[in-house]
Structure 1
Amino acid sequence: MEIVKENSKKILEKWVNHFSDELFTWALYKTSSKETAEDLVQETFMAAFNKIDTFQGKSQPKTWLFSILNNKVIDYYRLSAKTTKLTFSISENRGYELSDGLFDETGHWQSNEINPIWNQEEELLDNPEFNRVFENCIQNLPQKWKDAITYKYLTDKKTDEICQELEITVSNYWQIVHRSKLLLKKCLETNWTH
């Protein structure tokens, strides 16, 4: 038994040396928080160590570790969604009202102007302050909308799985995603000052 544990430690040490940076980069991209990303990578390696005897080599170690990390990211967002019930979060009806206000009676955009912040998209994603504002904008979405956006862009779940979990139709799902993106755009343009 001791030999098995010693081999597991050596294998995990090798994996930590080979994959830590890539896992951290992915976790940082998904969470926009250095501390959270570090914690999630550490939790990933701890989980891998505890389950290393179940790794059968049917996939590459990197693939297995990324799978564990993606589950940790999903758990992180689920927990934060449950614990971050903001009192100023908008209701679903209010979300529809706000997103409807972006169009005129004929269904055309109220304004065709493009905010200049969108011309610097790549730089924005590296800006911690922008990411903080973006996270606050996501948190202010109606709960079901926030869940739909989070599942769509931060997990590998398929549309039908998301619809089943949220108990909505596919057409309702796409409408929610579209309206959520519109509200996020409006929120960012209102709250992000550069």
Structure 2
Amino acid sequence: MKEIKEDSKKIVESWVNQFSDELFSWALYKTSSKETAEDLVQETFLAAFNKIDTFQGKSQPKTWLFSILNNKVIDYYRLSAKTTKKTFSISENSGYELSDGMFNENGGWKNNDMNPIWNQEEELLDNPEFNIVMQDCMDDLPQKWKFAVTSKYLTDKKADEICQELEITTSNYWQIVHRAKLLLKNCLEMKWV
């Protein structure tokens, strides 16, 4: 038994040396927090060590580790959503106020004027400075909202999959995405000149 544990330890140590940087980059991308990303990668390797006997080699070790990490990220957002479920952050309240203030009593847009920065949409995506501001605005979103937006637009997940991961209803999901987009638009219009 001691030999098996030593072999497992050596295998996981080699994986740590091979895949730590890639796992960390992915976790940082998904959470935008260096500390959280480090914790999630550490938890991933710990889980891999504890469950190494279940690894059958049907996939590459890197694939298996990324699968564990993705589950850790999902658990992280679920836990965050549950702890903030009863209280709304200022950003969420801002999202409600912003979205409610954009429509008239008949449900139509109050103002159809478009900020001129949106006329150059394609050039903006190629602009590194704009992307930094965009990332700052994304980081300002509540975690659940950021996860919903990044899952939808950056990883192309389906709405029902995101709803299941966040444990929310479809209508709640679409409200979150809509309000998050409005907050992003507002933030970009304020910070990007």
TM-score under structure 2 length normalisation: 0.72
Partner of 1:66: 66
Distance 1:10 1:39 in 2: 21
Aligned-partner residue type, residue 17 of structure 2? N
Q: Give the 3 Å change call, closer, same or farther, for CA 123–106 of structure 1 in structure 2.
A: closer
Render the CA deviation track for 1:154-184: whole Å, top value 9, x for unaligned: 8785323345642235xx8557534532322
Q: Give the 3 Å change call, closer, same or farther, for CA 31–122 of structure 1 in structure 2.
A: farther
Q: Which runs of 5+ in 1 are unaligned?
A: none
Distance 1:14 1:157 in 2: 32
Corresponding position: 1:32 with 2:3: no
Number of residue equivalences: 183
Render the CA deviation track for 1:14-63: whole Å, top value 9, x for unaligned: 11111111111111111122222111111110111111111111111100
Aligned-partner residue type, residue 41 of structure 2? V
Distance 2:28 2:52 in 1: 24
Partner of 2:9: 9
- Alignment check: 8 A CA contact 2:44 2:68 kept: yes
- Alignment check: 8 A CA contact 1:99 1:179 kept: no
- Aligned-pair Cα RMSD in Å: 3.7
- Alignment check: 8 A CA contact 2:148 2:176 kept: yes
Task: Give the 5 Å matches for 1:1-194.
Answer: 1-84=1-84, 85-88=87-90, 89-90=92-93, 94-100=97-103, 109-114=112-117, 118=124, 122-123=128-129, 131=135, 133-136=137-140, 138-139=141-142, 148-149=148-149, 151-152=151-152, 158-163=158-163, 165-168=167-170, 177-190=177-190, 192=191
Range with greater deviation from structure 2 (10-19 or 31-40): 31-40
Q: Give the 3 Å change call, closer, same or farther, for CA 106–131 of structure 1 in structure 2.
A: closer
Distance 1:176 1:35 in 2: 26
TM-score under structure 1 length normalisation: 0.71
Identity of aligned residues (%): 62
